[in-house]
Amino acid sequence: MLRHYQNDAVQAVYQHLQERNDNPVVVLPTGAGKSWVIAQLAADVSLRWNGRVLVLAHRRELLEQNADKLRQLNGQLKIGLFSAGLRRKDSTHPVIFAGIQSIWKKACDFPPFDIVIIDECHLINPDEEGMYRRFLADLRVINPQLRVIGLTATPYRLKTGRICSPDGFLNQICYEVGVRELIVQGYLSPLITKAGREKVDTSGVQVRGGEFVAGLLESLMDEPQLVEAACRETMQQTRDRKSVLIFASGVRHGQHVAQRLKTEHGVECGFVTGETPSGERDRLLERFKSGDLRFLCNVNVLTTGFDAPNVDCVVLLRPTMSPGLYYQMVGRGFRLAPGKQNCLVLDFGGNVLRHGPVDAIQIEKREAAGGEAPLKECPICQSMILAGYATCPHCGYTFPPPDKQKHEAQATEASILSAGANDEQYEVLDIFYRVHRKKDAGPDAPKSMRVDYQLGLNHWQSEFICFEHTGYARQKAEAWWQQRSPDPVPDTAEAAVTLANAGALRVTHAITVRSVPGERFDRIVKYDLGSAPEGRLEESIVSTVPDDDEVPF
């Protein structure tokens, strides 16, 4: 039985294929169950419409996972595999799971396919000479009516940005569901993050092709002082963690990390690379998945196609300029497992601040340089803003001076989804909505809606909802409103306050407030909301709401 969003994805594909003549893409977060969507699509095409399906992937682990899900969904369907690594060369079955490296020169060896499903479709090279492109071009010669369906968790590439375009090979995202939404619904594990105390300066690392030069990056990360500090802190932070997955910057670096953990801390750490013999790799992975091996370090191996729900800590000892690689590494911790409350991400490479929260990754083309991270999060309104801002342009929060941050005794905590400690739930006694204008802002400056929650006689908690802003702040405001009201999202703070005071929003019964050491202000991280209002309020409601000109801090 598919989850509701998986079924929605399947139906969105069918609607796209009926209404358009191009190629759709489904975007589901890592751990959201793309394999089940692939299985349902393959079964439907074969059994309901008597078509032939080819499912492509770039790793044998993905082939095995996808084929296994289809067997579970329908054990009567004849499934074939074509993969040198699996020593199978089936060609006539109604559904074939194939490795692109094994099949890309053999299009003419198969009967015509009607549908090709590509897992991890962001790996399709935009270059006409890539394996996927050449193979699919050959398939189209055999069947000009061939349709292609892509699935991915990361619909962008490092060099070219979004993978979908009207004139590209993949044309439109037909369905997408976000990380945050699935975490709130309980389908993905929450993530928390901590930055390493030993800071890494990547400003001197050369960038080539949009990514750090591998050899130079490894030399930087493999400095003995950093390896020792990272291993020591990893041990300190993972005392209550059961399965720790480490991403190293190179083979030599990974070997040193594994050795240091063993000699200095007395723990066994498995180590796998692309050169690890398949038998040895399989044994290490099985030990790690079973819980027999607590620490596992890897280099360029376990970013995709590795399904280990028990991972409750991901250690990033690899800085990257690639938002896709960053997401794939962090995504190893998304899956749910019995007894797993969350996944801790230890980021020693500045990746979280470089790319933004994992549910709002920045994918614009960037300058080819490292240095200070381009983004930081406002602790009041949670907007991701340029690191150079001393004051948040959305709510007016003043950041501590750089020197104070630099010499802070504790490690800094950058938000990957949420960060910090000391969550406490409070009953909401009353709520007040008003228009907020930033102090000293000009008359044309965007305003926000200030929400004040009364939690006690003299205990208040505030938040700022930025309807008049753009980008990430506006997206957060839209999500906030849509959780609470069937009415369209207002364009102005004044309209929002008017509707809120007229009863357009669900009642907030309680809020959870998070206090983080070193941060000046607490923030709201969870809401207990009442039932949705019935119907929509008339858009003609008009009232004058005075601006809140002063910020009490």
Give me the pLDDT at residue 392, please.
58
Task: Report the pLDDT averaged over residues 506-532.
Answer: 81
492 vs 320, 346, 437, 445, CA distance in Å? 38, 39, 12, 12
CA proximity to 381, closest of 391, 390, 394: 394
From edge to edge, which strands make up the β-sheet containing 313-316? 191-195, 343-347, 313-316, 244-247, 295-298, 269-272
CA distance linking residue 134 with residue 107, whole number of Å: 10
Q: Are strands 24-27 and 79-83 parallel, antiparallel or unpaired?
A: unpaired
Give yes or no for a contact between 112 and 52, defined as CB atoms under 8 angstroms apart: yes
457 or 279, greater pLDDT: 279
From edge to edge, which strands make up the β-sheet containing 95-99? 88-89, 79-83, 95-99, 53-57, 115-119, 147-152, 24-27, 172-176
Task: Report the pLDDT averaged over residues 219-245.
Answer: 94
Residue 538, pLDDT above cutoff 50: no
Residue 437, pLDDT above cutoff 60: yes
Give me the pLDDT at residue 303, please.
81
Tell me 264's DSSP state. H
Q: What is the dihedral of CA 163, 165, 170, 175, to 10 degrees?
A: 80
Give me the pLDDT at residue 412, please.
39
CA distance linking residue 434 with residue 397, whole number of Å: 18
Give me the pLDDT at residue 273, please.
92
Half-sphere exposure (Cβ direction) of 294: Cα atoms closer than 13 Å: 12
Q: What is the pLDDT of residues 272-289, one digit of tens each?
A: 998 999 899 999 999 999
Task: Report the pLDDT averaged over residues 140-147.
Answer: 91
* CATH 3.40.50.300 domain range(s) in the chain: 4-181, 189-373
Give yes or no for a contact between 378 and 397, defined as CB atoms under 8 angstroms apart: yes
99 or 548, greater pLDDT: 99
Q: What is the dihedral of CA 156, 162, 166, 170, to 10 degrees?
A: 0
The gap from C-alpha 519 to its chain's centroid, in whole angstroms, comes to: 25
The DSSP-derived string for 372-384 is S-SEEE-TTT--E
Give yes or no for a contact between 8 and 156, defined as CB atoms under 8 angstroms apart: no
Half-sphere exposure (Cβ direction) of 297: Cα atoms closer than 13 Å: 25
Q: How confident is the model at residue 30 (pLDDT cuts 50, 70, 90)?
A: confident
Lowest average pLDDT, out of 341-350, 436-445, 512-521, 537-546, goes to 537-546
Please give the helix or strand (H or E) that residue 471 lies within, else none. helix 471-482
Q: How confident is the model at residue 509 (pLDDT cuts 50, 70, 90)?
A: very high
Give me the pLDDT at residue 316, please.
95
Please tell me the pTM assigned to this model.
Answer: 0.62
Residue 365, pLDDT above cutoff 50: no
Task: Report the pLDDT averaged over residues 450-471.
Answer: 87
Phi, psi of 512 (to 5 degrees): -105, 125
Lowest average pLDDT, out of 20-24, 161-165, 224-228, 491-495, goes to 161-165
80 or 421, greater pLDDT: 80
Contacts of 52 (CB under 8 A, 6+ apart): 45, 46, 94, 95, 96, 111, 112, 113, 114, 115
Residue 540, burial from CB neighbour count under 10 angstroms (0-12, 13-18, 19+): exposed
The gap from C-alpha 53 to its chain's centroid, in whole angstroms, comes to: 29
Percent share of the chain, pLDDT over 70: 82
Q: How confident is the model at residue 293 (pLDDT cuts 50, 70, 90)?
A: very high
Give me the pLDDT at residue 318, please.
95
Inter-helix orientation angle 214-221/251-265, to 10°: 20
157-165 contacts at long range (C-beta below 8 A, 24 or more positions apart): 157/122, 157/126, 157/324, 158/209, 158/210, 158/211, 158/321, 158/322, 158/323, 158/324, 158/325, 159/209, 159/210, 160/126, 161/363, 161/364, 161/365, 162/363, 163/25, 163/121, 163/122, 163/124, 164/25
Residue 215, pLDDT above cutoff 50: yes
CA proximity to 412, closest of 423, 424, 399: 399
CA proximity to 518, closest of 405, 371, 398: 405
Residue 104, pLDDT above cutoff 90: no
Task: Report the pLDDT averaged over residues 210-232.
Answer: 92
Lowest average pLDDT, out of 82-91, 227-236, 293-302, goes to 82-91
Percent share of the chain, pLDDT over 90: 42
211 or 117, greater pLDDT: 117
Q: What is the pLDDT of residues 316-345, one digit of tens each?
A: 999 998 888 888 899 899 999 999 989 989
Give yes or no for a contact between 63 and 95, defined as CB atoms under 8 angstroms apart: no
The mean of the pLDDT values for the chain is: 82
Phi, psi of 65 (to 5 degrees): -65, -45
Lowest average pLDDT, out of 2-11, 372-381, 404-413, 508-517, goes to 404-413
CA proximity to 330, closest of 349, 305, 313: 313
Give me the pLDDT at residue 374, please.
47
Residue 329, burial from CB neighbour count under 10 angstroms (0-12, 13-18, 19+): buried
Which residue has tokens 């003299």? 458
Neighbour count for residue 511 (Cβ, 10 Å)? 21
End-to-end CA distance of the chain: 52
Task: Report the pLDDT averaged over residues 302-315.
Answer: 87
Lowest average pLDDT, out of 179-183, 194-198, 335-339, 407-411, goes to 407-411
| CATH no. for 189-373 | 3.40.50.300
Q: What is the dihedral of CA 135, 136, 137, 141, to 10 degrees?
A: 100
Give me the pLDDT at residue 371, please.
37
Neighbour count for residue 155 (Cβ, 10 Å)? 21
Q: What is the pLDDT of residues 375-395, one digit of tens each?
A: 566 565 445 455 555 655 555
Q: How confident is the model at residue 546 (pLDDT cuts 50, 70, 90)?
A: very low
Half-sphere exposure (Cβ direction) of 324: Cα atoms closer than 13 Å: 21
Give me the pLDDT at residue 517, please.
56
| CATH no. for 4-181 | 3.40.50.300
Indicate if the alpha-carbon torsion angle 73, 76, 80, 81 is positive or negative: positive
Residue 368, pLDDT above cutoff 50: no
Indicate if the alpha-carbon torsion angle 11, 16, 17, 23 is positive or negative: negative
